[in-house]
């Protein structure tokens, strides 16, 4: 049965694999971050936990939460390792599929190792070197009805990381839809995995059916 499922998926586009992996990666990353990772005790590390800031002419308190940078990066990327299964398509007998596999591997590497942390650093957090390499997440008190908790900061970190993954997911969807038309336009001599039937949509495979 496992071999039959493997052959079934290998007959599909590698982009489809990248489109379904968040079903596994997202809940596992949340579980790992909350159980193995989590916010550090900033006071014990001698770090600033609360600071008065001015926003729109009003004073507000910003709470700082600290996470071990390398541990957090590892916990966010470990579930994304399932994306790297697209390397299996590199050994396909058709050049048409191998080119798709190369693109899928690049997308998998970016989505697994770069996008989550890049999204955090771009949108909310920053890296500091005090007491080790730490990821600092600021949370404004105005965003919550009371003092923000470490769990709130952890969810903020996760959602920001997932936003980067969502951007890569949308990019993958766009490349999947555009791949067949572009290959027909620029590499018409390469044979696709199957011939398109008359009246069939011009895309390679589908989520719920095989051509």
Give me the pLDDT at residue 4, please: 64
Under DSSP, the state recorded for 40 is B
pLDDT mean over 21-26: 94
Highest average pLDDT, of 89-98, 139-148, 159-168, comes from 159-168
Instruction: Check whether 145 has a pLDDT greater than 70.
Output: no
40 phi/psi in degrees, rounded to 5: -90, 165
Task: Give residue 50's pLDDT band: very low, low, confident or very high (50, 70, 90).
Answer: confident
Distance (Å, whole) CA 78 – CA 25? 8
Q: Residue 55: which pLDDT band, with cuts at 50, 70 and 90?
A: low
Q: Is the pLDDT of residue 195 over 70?
A: no
The answer to whether 205 touches 13, Cβ cutoff 8 Å, is: yes
All residues at 6 or more sequence positions from 54 whose CB lies less than 8 Å from its CB, including other chains: 60
State the Cα–Cα distance between residues 102 and 91, nearest whole angstrom.
Answer: 11
Taking residues 91-102, report their average pLDDT.
91
Highest mean pLDDT among 55-69, 86-100, 184-198: 86-100
SS3 130: coil
Q: At what angle do helices 69-77 and 22-35 cross, to 10 degrees?
A: 150
Q: Where are the domains of the chain?
A: 9-184
Q: Could you tell me the pTM of the whole model?
A: 0.81
Provide the H-helix boundaries in the chain: 2-10, 14-20, 22-35, 69-77, 95-109, 115-123, 150-186
Does position 174 have pLDDT exceeding 80, yes or no? yes
Q: Is the pLDDT of residue 154 over 60?
A: yes
Q: Is the pLDDT of residue 2 over 80?
A: no
Cα 95 from Cα 93, distance rounded (Å): 7
Identify the band that residue 44 occupies on the pLDDT scale cut at 50, 70 and 90: confident
- Write out the DSSP string of 173-203: HHHHHHHHHHHHHH-TTSPPSSPPPTT--SS
Strands of the 58-68 sheet, one edge to the other? 50-55, 58-68, 134-140, 126-128
């Amino acid at each position: 049965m496992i071999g039959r499922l493997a052959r079934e998926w290998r007959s599909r586009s590698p982009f489809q694999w990248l489109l379904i992996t968040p079903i596994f990666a997202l809940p596992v990353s949340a579980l790992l971050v909350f159980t193995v990772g989590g916010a550090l005790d900033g006071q014990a590390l001698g770090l600033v936990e609360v600071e008065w800031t001015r926003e729109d002419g009003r004073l507000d308190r910003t709470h700082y939460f600290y996470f071990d940078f390398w541990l957090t990066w590892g916990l966010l990327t470990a579930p994304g390792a399932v994306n790297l299964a697209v390397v299996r398509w590199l050994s396909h007998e058709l050049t048409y599929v191998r080119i798709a596999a190369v693109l899928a591997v690049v997308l998998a590497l970016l989505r697994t190792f770069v996008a989550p942390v890049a999204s955090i650093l771009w949108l909310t957090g920053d890296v500091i070197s005090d007491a080790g390499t730490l990821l600092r997440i600021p949370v404004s008190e105005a965003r919550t009805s009371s003092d923000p908790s470490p769990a709130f900061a952890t969810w903020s970190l996760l959602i920001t990381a997932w936003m980067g993954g969502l951007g890569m997911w949308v990019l993958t969807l766009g490349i999947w839809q555009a791949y067949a038309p572009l290959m027909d336009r620029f590499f018409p001599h390469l044979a696709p995995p199957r011939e398109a039937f008359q009246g069939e949509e011009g895309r390679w495979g589908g989520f719920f059916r095989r051509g």
